Structure 1
């Protein structure tokens, strides 16, 4: 009867047992290779290809970190590159497409770059396409180095060292770099000590700002404030009056005595004006009367008017 045989060494089951000397190798051979890696790390996976494509597109874009200097900027296209070089915008390299159809603008760009001691780089079209994220570069790309922003304290310190009353312009919510460049130019023209811009949601010293400043950005510092309200409060502790421009201000510009001493002039955006916290921080809110009937002035013009008035009084 099956299973009851008394014969020695008779097999009563088809199941094989462990053989002598395995040492548990079979058990170890069943162990896995660890957790499954995420899809982005699996070779050939669609998500990995998508992640790689996204990383390639990001190359050449400005990347900013909180508290760090701004990254390099690219000026793209024949006319913008030539104009930037004519205006003396600081640059460190000119990229020229290989076998590009040369015209007067390409030749002038190469000549200006050579005279300015810039690095000339000949690159194939696919490389320029990658650098510019496939913008219409027309075979010319100018690389602008990061702007070296000052600290707000540097502006008042420079005025003190020169034995002068501080004359500083702070911009609140001004996002057009051309307005920033125009303010820098006015500050330079009327003997100011610099411009303060917020770190976020504000125009920075781009190539457009450099061009609008007509070269004055090379000698007029622009400082970047992490928090504009706290920066203005710090100036007040130094004895500097903070004057805000507001269309509904209670004092007319000609009546403001603060312009004769150390002062920070705060200019808001043309559309929204000063933000609430900045407006509340100002020592006085000032309006510019406009008999011609215009509703407002852009930031560059408004700052120029006030700076002229301050310079006139100080003479």
Structure 2
């Protein structure tokens, strides 16, 4: 199911969006505002596990497209989020070992869209993103994915580390990209696998990295020291594809 409304402004509009079941990524509320409708919005946000940020009126004015935000702006997902179980079922339905992308705080929506596109083309069964400090499924992500969001399920989880632990119990192995790792050509990346890609600036966080079974480096011959996150995802994904085809 696709949602066409990405930015929702005004108290009644935001309350109605919650009541209609739209997947809300983030809500920005005027700091200090405590009236009835705002309290209702806070309650609904807590029920649905949406991120709430308190900001100044100037910030809301800058964000507003209509000039009538009434102290609240919500960002709705462009597409409905899947569950992790949906991704596992997609692999089972195809009779394949699960192949999942896990993105550790990818904040650039263009990178997120490009990675979802790569995931689809590489035959991955889905993508998992964290709730906090990460881009959600915005209109920009939808456009950059070039239609892949119609076919590749994306799940949002509260704790990426715990999700990795849970998937390990189901037999998945995890590999993350890092310059200090073993060359990807020397690793056995067949079987049920999760490919972990880190933040554009900081890479994979320490806690997530410690849960990975393999640390893979991508051979580089140039004068700079790192690849863009979406390019690194593509290079590693296609090494996994190559090994799965052997």
Q: Same fold per TM (> 0.5)? A: yes
Checking the alignment, whether the CA contact within 8 Å between 2:107 and 2:200 is kept in structure 1 is no
Cα RMSD between the aligned structures?
Answer: 2.7
What displacement does 1:225 show? 1.0
Secondary structure, counterpart of 1:128 in structure 2: coil
SS, match of residue 270 in structure 1: coil
CA distance in 2, matches of 1:282, 1:225: 17
* Cα deviation 1:71-101 (Å, max 9, x = unaligned): 9xxxxxxxxxxxxxxxxxxxxxxxxxxxxxx
Distance in structure 2 (CA, Å) of the matches to 1:163 and 1:156: 11
Matches within 5 A, 1:236-255: 236-249=168-181, 251-255=182-186
> Once the 2 structures are TM-superposed, how far is the Cα of residue 211 of structure 1 from its aligned partner?
0.7
Name 1:113's counterpart in structure 2. none
Is residue 285 from structure 1 mapped to residue 215 from structure 2 by the alignment? yes
Residues 143-154 of structure 1 aligned to structure 2 (within 5 Å): 147-154=79-86
Matched, 1:63 2:18: no
Which structure has greater strand proportion? 2
Q: Structure 1: where are the runs of 5+ without partners?
A: 1-55, 72-126, 134-142
User: CA 1:173–1:145 in 2, change beyond 3 Å: closer, same or farther?
Assistant: closer
C-alpha distance in structure 2 between counterparts of 1:69 and 1:277, whole Å: 23
What SS does the aligned partner of 2:85 have?
Answer: helix
Contact 1:184 1:217 in 2 (8 A): yes
Separation in structure 2 between the aligned mates of residue 207 and residue 291 of structure 1, nearest angstrom: 36
Q: Is 1:215 aligned to residue 147 of structure 2?
A: yes
CA-CA distance at 1:255 after TM superposition:
1.2
- Deviations 1:141-191 (CA, angstroms, capped at 9, x unpaired): xx9765311112221222122210111110002111111101100011111
Distance 1:237 1:268 in 2: 23
1:211–1:69 CA distance, 2 compared to 1 (3 A): farther
SS in 1 for 2:68: helix
Looking at CA atoms only, which structure, 1 or 2, has the larger radius of gyration?
1
Q: How does 1:226-237 map to 2 (within 5 A)?
A: 226-237=158-169
SS in 1 for 2:167: helix
Q: After the TM superposition, which residues 291-310 of structure 1 pair with which residues of structure 2 at under 5 Å, given as runs?
A: 291-310=221-240
How far apart are 1:67 and its partner, in Å? 6.8
Matched with 2:99 is: 167
Structure 2 gap segments, 5+ residues each = 1-8, 15-25, 29-44, 52-64
Q: Is the 8 A contact 1:181 1:208 kept in 2?
A: yes
User: By how many angstroms is 1:242 displaced?
Assistant: 0.7
In structure 2, the CA distance between the partners of 1:132 and 1:303, relative to structure 1 (3 Å rule), is farther
Post-superposition Cα deviations, 1:36-86, rounded to whole Å, max 9, x if no partner, equal: xxxxxxxxxxxxxxxxxxxx9767675383573879xxxxxxxxxxxxxxx
Selected match of 2:135 from 203, 209, 228 = 203
Structure 2 counterpart SS, 1:260:
coil
> Taking CA–CA contacts closer than 8 Å with sequence separation of 6 or more, which of the two structures ends up with the larger relative contact order?
2
TM-fit CA distance, 1:132: 9.9
Once the two structures are superposed, the pairs formed by residues 1-315 of structure 1 within 5 Å of their partners are: 63=27, 65=45, 68=48, 128-130=66-68, 147-249=79-181, 251-257=182-188, 259-315=189-245
Asked whether the 8 Å contact 1:60–1:132 carries over to 2, the reply is no
1:172–1:269 contact (8 Å) kept in structure 2: yes
Runs of 4+ more than 2 Å apart: 56-71, 143-147
- Give the aligned length: 194
Cα distance between partner residues in 2 of 1:304 and 1:268: 13
Question: What's the TM-score, normalizing by structure 2?
Answer: 0.71
